């Protein structure tokens, strides 16, 4: 058996879970984005205690590496890398949008998860019916012509907390919208597949997938 710790602090809701191979055996959830940093280490201690597993028994750590909240991504990545460095175990990174797509059980030609990035901007990517990435993560400012080419030929399912923005811009018959709720189960399954394939991140150089650079407006003096 392989114990894998999963860390997800990318979005509003955070989670820390422990899996035996791909089966989640303990988890802790938080719905307060501002408390991700204080939540992380406490949650790790709690789930390892509940499962009766020492951190020394871990085979790997998986972390959602973005896109998402800039601060949340840094919290998760630094925590995951710290454990991996200390225990000399591999790091597994999982794209937030890929994780979201994995939770979608409906049928469609394309799956398009969207993360709210304020105003009319979203972080998004496109996956085919087999959940294989066909368009990489990007930051997109939505308008009525967004995805026009895709929608002409294929049925596209849009979901995530940014999809509502696009739902008010299009009435295309090939565009569908529905809520999707990814959880620790989907993260554990992706992480286990990566572990079996030895698809590990470079621990020294792994960093959050921000998609776009952080920008802080400077007030005129």
Check residue 214 and give its pLDDT.
55
Taking the model in full, what pTM does it have? Answer: 0.93
- pLDDT at 9 (0 to 100): 97
Distant-in-sequence, close-in-space partners of 26: CB < 8 Å, separation ≥ 6: 17, 18, 47, 48, 50, 51
Tell me: the pLDDT tens digits for 162-190? 999 999 999 999 999 999 999 999 999 99
> By three-state DSSP, how is residue 64 classified?
strand
Same CATH topology for 3-97+182-196 and 104-177: the answer is yes
Q: Residues 96, 118: contact at Cβ < 8 Å?
A: no
3-state secondary structure of 101: helix
What's the confidence (pLDDT) of residue 216?
46
| Phi, psi angles (nearest 5°) of residue 151 | -70, -20
pLDDT tens by residue, 182-216: 999 999 999 999 999 999 999 999 999 999 865 54
Q: State how far the Cα of 19 lies from the Cα of 193, in Å rounded to an integer.
A: 13
CATH topology of domain 104-177: Nucleotidyltransferase; domain 5 (3.30.420)
pLDDT (tens digit per residue) in 3-60: 999 999 999 999 999 999 999 999 999 998 789 999 999 999 999 999 999 999 999 9
Q: What is the pLDDT of residue 145?
A: 96
3-state SS assignment for residue 178: coil
Give the residue ranges of DSSP H helices in the chain.
Answer: 36-51, 70-87, 96-102, 148-153, 163-167, 184-196
And the tokens for 164? 């509502």
Domain ranges of the chain: 3-97+182-196, 104-177
Topology at the third CATH level for domain 3-97+182-196 = Nucleotidyltransferase; domain 5 (3.30.420)
């Amino acid at each position: 058996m392989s114990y894998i710790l999963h860390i997800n602090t990318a979005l509003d809701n955070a989670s820390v879970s422990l899996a035996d191979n791909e089966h989640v055996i303990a988890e802790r959830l938080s719905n307060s984005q501002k408390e991700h940093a204080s939540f992380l280490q406490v949650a790790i201690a709690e789930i390892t205690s509940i499962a009766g597993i020492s951190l020394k028994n871990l085979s790997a750590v998986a972390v959602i590496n973005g896109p998402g909240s800039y601060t949340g991504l840094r919290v998760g990545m630094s925590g995951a890398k710290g454990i991996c460095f200390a225990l000399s175990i591999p790091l597994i990174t999982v794209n937030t949008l890929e994780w979201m797509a994995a939770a979608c059980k409906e049928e469609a030609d394309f799956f398009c998860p969207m993360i709210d990035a304020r105003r009319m901007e979203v972080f998004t990517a496109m996956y085919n019916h087999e959940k294989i990435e066909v368009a990489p993560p990007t930051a997109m400012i939505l308008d009525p012509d967004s995805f026009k080419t895709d929608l002409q030929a294929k049925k596209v399912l849009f979901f995530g907390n940014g999809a509502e923005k696009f739902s008010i811009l299009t009435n295309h018959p090939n565009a569908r919208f529905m809520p999707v709720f990814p959880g620790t189960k989907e993260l554990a399954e992706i992480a286990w597949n990566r572990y079996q394939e030895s698809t590990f991140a470079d621990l020294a150089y792994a960093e959050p997938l921000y998609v776009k650079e952080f920008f802080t407006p400077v007030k005129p003096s």
